[in-house]
Copies of this chain bind each other. A is one copy, B any other.
Amino acid sequence: MALLDRPPTTLFVCVTCRAGRDDAQEPRPGAQLFESLRQGAEGLAVVPVECLSNCQRGCTAAVSAPGKWTYVIGQLDPEQHAADMLAFARLHREATDGLPAWRSRPEHVRKNTIARIPPLPVVAKEIA
């Protein structure tokens, strides 16, 4: 019940990313990153996506949750940076506003934040 009451922090992962390479490597780096994140994702939802439009600086993942800031992180090497991305997602989950303290963020995340977007404003509902 408690888990369902609190919608999960979601990690979106671009699974089609070739990480800037022209070769036909299979599985693609994006798919490898997805698999690495999924394996360590206890307490998080990991969702595959076809293209997060950060193709020049992939691989890419984004962390989001209702009412919180969304962060897009790039230059993620599936063999090197899965742990950093998972650590950041857990900091995001613990931060009420989705803004983990700068110094607490893994260095790769600090240096490769592609964009962040605020939560949508709450719209007052008209009562019949």
Contacts and interface: CB of A to CB of B under 8 A. Distances in A.
How many chain A residues sit at the interface, stated as a range, is 20 to 34
B115 A47 contact: no
Interface in A60-100: 60, 62, 64-66, 70-72
B4 A121 contact: no
Interface string A28-70: 0000000000000000010101011110000010101110001
Contact of A45 (B7, B70, B117, B121): B121
Interface in A108-128: 113-118, 120-121, 123-126
11 contacts: A4-B125, A4-B126, A45-B121, A52-B115, A52-B117, A54-B115, A60-B115, A62-B117, A64-B120, A65-B120, A117-B117
